[in-house]
Amino acid sequence: MPSRRGRFGAPAGAAVKLLVLLLVTGGFTSMAHGQHQPARQRPHLPLELLPDTLAICRFDAGAPVPGWAEGSRGFVTVSRTAEELSITAVQHLVPPGSRCERDYRAFRVRGPLPLDLIGILAAIADPLAEAGLSIFAISTFDTDYVLVKSGDLPAAVEALERAGHQVSRPT
């Protein structure tokens, strides 16, 4: 009995076996899956540049929160982990000699923002990274803050506005 040949000259059963093998091993993808998907449109955010210069401080994990941070009425965040106590606060409140990185400025995303929003920090961080600027990000229940070095502020504002964000400056 002569063997049946498939479309490409191979035995018909071989083509079926190859198709099954490709499907089982994931070696076969649809045309839609294999095509490049366009990047998701980043949100254009209303950002507020806060007026104060900030310092980011590190303390030992078991250290008490200093009084200057507890009594502050200005910007202050306190984060404690098993490894450290980090405090970000208005720079002029931080005593000399504290272990800190100083001279930061903060952009605040006008909120409150729902906790399930996707891509908020990326929408800010990506244009700043593309401009070669490092950031320090802080999230609260209501919104996000992105800090940059004061010396990088003009370049940061330019990069954010070029990305379509609206930056309001203190008056």
Other beta carbons within 10 angstroms of residue 128's beta carbon come to 20
Strongest mean pLDDT among 2-11, 56-65, 67-76 = 56-65
Question: What residues pair up with 136 in beta bridges, in sequence order?
Answer: 147
Q: Among candidates 55, 47, 51, which has minimal Cα distance to 149?
A: 55
CATH code for the domain defined by 46-168: 3.30.2130.10
Q: Please provide residue 145's backbone torsions phi and psi, each rounded to the nearest 5 degrees.
A: -125, 140
Burial label, 113 (beta-carbon count in 10 A; 0-12, 13-18, 19+): middle
pTM score over 0.85: no
Residues forming CATH 3.30.2130.10 domain(s) in the chain: 46-168
CA quadruple 85, 87, 93, 94: dihedral sign: positive
pLDDT tens for 71-119 read 878 899 999 999 999 999 999 999 999 999 999 999 999 988 888 888 8
